[in-house]
Chains A and B, each alone.
Chain A
């Protein structure tokens, strides 16, 4: 069996590099990448030039701004992702077995990959040739990386992190090669870092020569691992990157002719959805939501994006398609469609057993379709369950997605004794009011003049004074009409200087 061979590549200051590759004018300037919410951003990553000025990760924008000639750039994750994908693609040309040890998302210091290039000498050449070729490929993409090869994966990784350029570690030379590297390449736990600093151990070489048993007696198995790493002897089990389930739950197609009817589109969407559901089922998963993107005809290229999200994860093809259909009927595309893209988010299917003595509830998919139909009929924002908002603001409630209350029956019967109820007008009716000595004497409603017999109020509320949506309202409860039979609530909004009929008491 041939000796294993690993190749590791490390892109230092990856976030800064991924920016500079798109903006070459920054290549010779100190650059820092800021992350966080303005104006409280901090330095997420930086290049060598800014480091030599005394900048470091974690500094605030204000601190960074005090340095002259510095390019302060916001972090753009898309740029990082794109650069990382480029590196991955380059790596994939050399080996299908790639493990990501530090992705740009997780690490501000850089991105690290390790490739298993064992037994590929005939195909690709010597380790040095492979490294040179790979580096050239990545150089072309505008990212500078350090590469190391070794028969020990960790030795390659540490060398790639610690040395610039290409490092070829011949078999048996791991410990000697790594000896000069600083301990920081091991990314130690703070407690171990503290211990080694106190001991004056600064390099892998110094760690490697400590008496093994004494070291283990002091810091336990971690000592064994760290020393083995520093000697280039720690064995690594490569876990290659595989496409995630999320990645396989997508489908796309391009249409030969623009289509502007929904029915043929639904036929195609149905087939795409079926594929996705089958793949999800293979992983015993249901679908939490389906995103449909319709690529529209015309320039510039436009997309019509819709998302269908059932209350519970759904695995039924018919239900999901119906929901997509109803949604598209409510929100049809504004132009003919030339392409389709569908993406689903998987979730664990909902399982549960209903109780014996509780009335049968409708099947969730059917209920979902019913609600979608109602939404189509009534409008998007007019369906749901009302929920009170904790505020003194009158009539403060919001609509939340429909979800029957677990104890709905008891709520209906409980709740205390109410002698009257208020029927609210939504929206309230604008009225005119005649006042005398701060009392309401007449109300003008629908052209009728209604004398006010009795009025109590004003009941005042105001709030949210610290926001732009502060409110203030004065309300009166009045009895109207000749027979004093109409008891209603009127309100005055001082902000709008307007009177409203808010509701009628039963």
Chain B
């Protein structure tokens, strides 16, 4: 029964997310196309099922296995019905480009197989992991309460007198996801759930690859996905059962989808971006702030471009995302759940509060930037800066470059603000405990951003260069694609 339950709940996520991708015209109607969309379908399905469950739970609705099934099946049925009415797949389904050189294909295979092997080995290593301190006090606590009480029992969620110290205001994406898994299994599984969290990370890398692949040579984006995929920093949260990577992967994917929308202006990317950002905002309080940073950067770039119609569409998508973000915020407000580590604005801007704490900025900057240049995050942030500078200097894809750099910069500034004004008195301890994990969202967003920029930079080459000399026979793996074929046209960059 446990295996059947596992299959059922994961199939539900895949079908719900697959319905969304199909309705957006993002799934090629072939077996390979459907298999290729499996990871993104799963991740979109997690967001699509879990976010409404949070809204239902805080509204007082019982969230049992039956509720989960009803929500998932209704969403899947509605979305697939819409997809059937829509008919043709959209333009976002250009095939991936593996490259026409043997050496190139070999390197792509080594990177892909290496990444998959690493992800599987890490998953197998997490099966007996214990619950970390923060997870035991926040994430697992809420997950178990959600599971055992089919909702948000007052003894845990509004028990301010006993649990005020333990961030009762932290949002519920990860606890609800874990509770959903437990419902599927039919019992709690506090160790196995680490594997599920790692599975979200694996699905996020798959989704990033799936978003980046259409029309781009694999070797222009895959190295960045692999570099962040194997980064040691991404292990931290799933090992401990924390929610930082869960929030970070959704914010990063939201940023990537919106970055692709900024480049190509295809509505499916906008919808996915809004969904992933809404999930990220429900991942952690920092996730909410970082998701807002991405949205702010996008609005700023569109304002700079005077792209009024795009701003209007973004506003509609943003309103849709807010529908999934607001319920938990209302619940926090309605139950007066305290924020454990933030200072009220009235106090921050009264007297000399900020000046008195100015000495906290230096160590905070040192710590934050220090983690971003640590191999644990694969140097993704400085790589993004370098890629963006090149784009600005050579006048290529400047809006996208400015968007990513602004988003990550605003995230850094927001984090520094938290350290500057936060209630935690012992700053060195706070920095050492939180530094690695809270910089994850910035690193993930940077890695996905640099992947998009570099793949665009290198994709533009084919359209501009004179025909290359014939490739030696020993390097060639297939006949060159005729001009006008999908592969040839895929090499043209839509970025200008």
Query: Is B one of A's binding partners?
Result: no
Interface residues of A (CB under 8 A from B): none
**Could you list which residues of chain B lie within 8 angstroms of chain A, going by C-beta atoms?**
none
